[in-house]
């Protein structure tokens, strides 16, 4: 384990390297102004092609707006990646995204990135440095500082199209929330509860853990060193690989990072929440230094914004960590638009993924992803029915929206300028989970005021040797 003293010292060194240089001297105007593929389609490379990556590839293929020009995955020999390769047998194959770019950067217009959370950052900034449009799965990155650098990169190169993969942000949930805010239906919000109480992979693990699991043989087809990316070295263990990476603080973002972007995205954007001024973990069952708690309740306090009052957002996860529901809540239905998780449809639980929004005059309930809001109780909904505005239909789904934006025909609905601060909210929440204590955050300076150790956590452990340049933007 890294000690408090060495962590602060090393993090300070890493932070001092942040500058507008490094990888980002490579990009040229011609690289992102080049003509889209000869048939008018976007030349798209996919990085991370198994499990969720394979699902994303299928969704992009359905748009018929892209040519698949390359497939890249650290385990091209695995069963789950072979299934994707079989669908695109003529696409060149790579195990290392850097080698892919060395060989065929000029043939790629855009990339999708569907790798573990901790590896999003270096692949994203490398791609942007080469002028490639980027579709990156949620959350954008694992640390606050990595997201900050990705936001800076997007500002530095505004012609590069970016999109985070919270696909509900292009469907009914997005357009309804926007229309209801503009019409004054949703206003003066003071409290939001959000919840994800389905089983997670780490439930049942030993919370008395004192060290990482023992080293196991690395599968012959897996490039473990590239999988680790800029993260400090860990010996291979099956409980780090595939979807298991989400369980660990060093690799994933737990339930909050996984589902928060599908539940809180529209409230965060259209209520202009920005970053919280205080994050307080009020319940952490099974807290330990290695993987996520069995249940967490995390309170985020957002200040007043213009004429909008302060808002308290409370996140609940864990099987028996159910928030108190408002009167007239009704049934908790599972929306059919929620996509599969690891190839399996999510199962209904006591309270399905969603949110409750409390304003001074109205209460709303909503689900996850594309699920739309309803006013509760039912009597109030009937009273408000004639006052509700017409909600426009989405002109494109999230995947088509990205590709059409690459063609200059639309603008992405979850670009880094919008998705970045949302992802940073989750980074601060995970930090509070991991440290097990309150964080007081300065929204102006982006520093933590009450805890030097937590302030160092904004940056995180310095990257492994050979990956330092990615952090010099």
Mean pLDDT score across all residues of the chain: 91
Residue 165 lies in domain: 4-169+400-428+456-471
CA distance 77 to 141: 26
- Whether 52 maps to a domain, the answer reads yes
- Whether 292 maps to a domain, the answer reads no
Report pLDDT digits (tens) over 178-213.
999 999 999 999 999 999 999 999 999 999 999 999
Question: Does 18 score more than 50 pLDDT?
Answer: no
pLDDT (average), residues 217-235: 96
Contact 356, 193 (CB under 8 A): yes
CA distance 118 to 139: 10
Which residues make Cβ contacts (< 8 Å) with residue 397, sequence separation at least 6?
Answer: 59, 63, 167, 170, 171
Report pLDDT digits (tens) over 298-321.
999 999 999 999 999 999 999 999
Between residues 343 and 399, the one the model is more confident about: 399
Question: Does 47 score more than 70 pLDDT?
Answer: yes
Owner of token pair 């108190």: 324
Overall domain count for the chain: 1
Query: In sequence order, what DSSP letters do the residues of 105-163 get, joined into one string?
Result: GGG-SEEEE-S-GGGHHHHHHHHHHTT-EEEEPSSS-SSHHHHHHHHHHHHH-TTS-EE
- Whether 387 maps to a domain, the answer reads no
**What tokens were used for 435?**
């440290």
Owner of token pair 């799965």: 137
Strands 447-448 and 439-442: antiparallel
Question: Does 333 score more than 90 pLDDT?
Answer: no
Neighbouring-strand partners of residue 365? 356, 374
Q: What pLDDT is recorded for position 350?
A: 78
- Whether 211 maps to a domain, the answer reads no
- Which stretches of 269-367 are assigned E, i.e. beta strand? 278-285, 295-302, 311-317, 354-359, 363-366
Upstream peptide bond of 377 is cis (omega within 30 degrees of 0): yes
Least confident of 7-16, 262-271, 450-459: 7-16
- Whether 316 maps to a domain, the answer reads no
Helix (H, G, I), strand (E, B) or coil at 315: strand
Owner of token pair 């990646």: 81
Q: Is 213 exposed, middle or buried (0-12, 13-18, 19+ CB in 10 A)?
A: middle
208, 383, 447, 454 from 123: Cα distances, Å:
34, 51, 26, 26
What b/e sequence results for 55-94 when a residue is b if at least 16 CB atoms lie within 10 Å of its CB, and e otherwise?
A: bbbebbeebebbbbbbbbbbbbebebbeebbeebeebeeb
Under DSSP, the state recorded for 246 is G
Under DSSP, the state recorded for 64 is T
Under DSSP, the state recorded for 176 is H
Angle between helices 254-263 and 416-435 (to 10 degrees): 150
51, 66, 166, 410 from 133: Cα distances, Å:
22, 13, 17, 14
**What tokens were used for 220?**
């012959």
pLDDT (average), residues 86-115: 97
Under DSSP, the state recorded for 332 is -
pLDDT (average), residues 151-167: 96
Contact 195, 354 (CB under 8 A): yes
Least confident of 69-73, 169-173, 348-352, 453-457: 348-352
- Whether 185 maps to a domain, the answer reads no
**What tokens were used for 270?**
């259209």
Q: What pLDDT is recorded for position 36?
A: 61
Strands 447-448 and 42-47: unpaired
Question: Does 432 score more than 50 pLDDT?
Answer: yes
Domain with 131 in it: what CATH number?
A: 3.40.50.720
Q: What pLDDT is recorded for position 329?
A: 87
Under DSSP, the state recorded for 169 is G
Question: Does 24 score more than 80 pLDDT?
Answer: no
Contact 303, 277 (CB under 8 A): yes
Q: In terms of Cα–Cα distance, which of 240, 199, 185, 197 is closest to 216? A: 240
> Which of 1-10, 21-30, 171-180 tops mean pLDDT?
171-180
Half-sphere CA count of 7, side-chain side, radius 13 A: 14
CA distance 221 to 235: 16
Which residues make Cβ contacts (< 8 Å) with residue 66, sequence separation at least 6?
Answer: 41, 42, 43, 44, 60, 110, 403
Report pLDDT digits (tens) over 365-415.
999 999 999 999 999 999 999 999 999 999 999 999 999 999 999 999 999
**pLDDT classification of 6: cutoffs 50, 70, 90:** very low
Owner of token pair 């069963």: 79
CA distance 186 to 362: 8
Contact 338, 369 (CB under 8 A): yes
Helix or strand (DSSP H, E) at 8 = helix 4-16
Helix (H, G, I), strand (E, B) or coil at 279: strand
CA distance 398 to 307: 31
The number of helices, as runs of H, and strands, as runs of E, in the chain is 15, 15
- Whether 334 maps to a domain, the answer reads no
Between residues 45 and 337, the one the model is more confident about: 45
- Whether 19 maps to a domain, the answer reads yes
Q: What pLDDT is recorded for position 10?
A: 47
């Amino acid at each position: 384990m890294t000690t408090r003293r060495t962590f602060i010292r090393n993090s300070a060194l890493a932070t001092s390297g942040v500058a507008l240089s490094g990888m980002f001297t490579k990009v040229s105007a011609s690289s992102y102004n080049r003509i889209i593929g000869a048939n008018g389609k976007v030349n798209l490379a996919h990085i991370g092609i198994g499990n969720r990556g394979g699902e994303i590839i299928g969704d992009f293929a359905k748009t018929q707006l892209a040519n698949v020009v390359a497939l890249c995955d650290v385990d091209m020999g695995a069963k789950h990646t072979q299934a994707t390769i079989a669908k695109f047998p003529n696409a060149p194959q790579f195990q290392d995204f850097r080698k892919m770019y060395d060989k065929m950067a000029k043939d790629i217009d855009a990339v999708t990135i569907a790798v573990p959370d901790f590896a999003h950052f270096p692949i994203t900034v490398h791609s942007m440095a080469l002028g490639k449009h980027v579709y990156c799965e949620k959350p954008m990155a694992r640390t606050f500082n990595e997201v900050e650098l990705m936001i800076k990169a997007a500002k530095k190169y505004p012609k590069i199209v970016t999109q985070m993969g919270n696909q509900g942000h292009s469907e009914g949930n997005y357009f309804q929330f926007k229309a209801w805010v503009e019409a004054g239906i949703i206003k003066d919000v003071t409290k939001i509860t959000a919840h994800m109480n389905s089983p997670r992979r780490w439930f049942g693990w030993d919370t008395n853990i004192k060290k990482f699991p023992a080293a196991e043989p690395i599968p012959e087809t897996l490039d473990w060193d590239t999988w680790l990316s800029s993260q400090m070295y860990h010996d291979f263990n099956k409980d780090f690989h595939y979807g298991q990476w989400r369980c660990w603080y060093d690799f994933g973002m737990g339930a909050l990072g996984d589902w928060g972007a599908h539940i809180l995205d529209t409230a965060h954007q259209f209520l202009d929440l920005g970053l919280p001024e205080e994050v307080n973990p009020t319940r952490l069952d099974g807290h330990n230094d290695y993987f996520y708690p069995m249940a967490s309740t995390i309170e985020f306090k957002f200040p007043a914004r213009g004429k909008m009052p302060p808002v308290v957002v409370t996140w609940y996860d864990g099987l028996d960590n159910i928030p108190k529901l408002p009167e007239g809540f009704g049934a908790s239905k599972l929306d059919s638009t929620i996509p599969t998780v690891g190839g399996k449809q999510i199962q209904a639980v006591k309270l399905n993924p969603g949110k409750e929004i409390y304003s001074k005059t109205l209460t709303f309930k909503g689900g996850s992803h594309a699920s739309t809001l309803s006013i509760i109780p039912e009597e109030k909904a009937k009273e408000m029915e004639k006052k509700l505005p017409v909600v426009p239909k989405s002109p494109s789904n999230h995947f088509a929206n990205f590709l059409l934006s690459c063609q200059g025909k639309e603008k992405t609905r979850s670009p880094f300028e919008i998705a970045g601060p949302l992802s940073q909210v989750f980074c601060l929440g995970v930090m509070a989970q991991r440290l097990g204590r309150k964080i007081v955050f300065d929204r102006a300076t982006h520093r933590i005021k009450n805890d030097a150790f937590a302030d160092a956590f904004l940056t995180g452990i310095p990257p492994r040797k050979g990956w330092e340049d990615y952090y010099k933007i």
